[in-house]
Amino acid sequence: MSTEFQKSGPNVAVSSKGFTVMRHSGGWIEYSDVSGTITAEWELIVKPSLGVLLYPRSGGLKSLTPARADEVVNNIVRALQFLGERVELWQVENW
């Protein structure tokens, strides 16, 4: 079992790697690390099972370099999975 994350509140995961992810019910995710705070958008999906659809080029992610955006998205996905969420990424080519 990974010890990277700790739950510090409802929908909040804190990583031992120096970032925090908070899923807000209003359809946005807050990602914070030493570089600052970045937002991303998500929506609830129900098929084939309940989960989160994350838009990898939304919110503050749009202003990041592709490499940094990929790093942040990967961190968000791992944090949400730690919180028990099933996560799917919206395919960029469909955006």
Report residue 49 as tokens. 């099972």
Residue 44: pLDDT above 70? Answer: yes
Amino acid 92: pLDDT: 58
Distance CA 92, CA 65 (A): 15
- Mean pLDDT within 52-60: 90
Map residue 32 onto helix, strand or coil: strand
Model's pTM, two decimal places?
0.90
Q: What is the mean pLDDT of the chain?
A: 91
Residue 9: pLDDT above 80? Answer: yes
Residue 78: pLDDT above 60? Answer: yes
* Complete edge-to-edge strand list for the sheet that includes strand 36-45: 5-9, 12-15, 20-24, 28-33, 36-45, 51-55, 87-89
Distance CA 22, CA 75 (A): 12
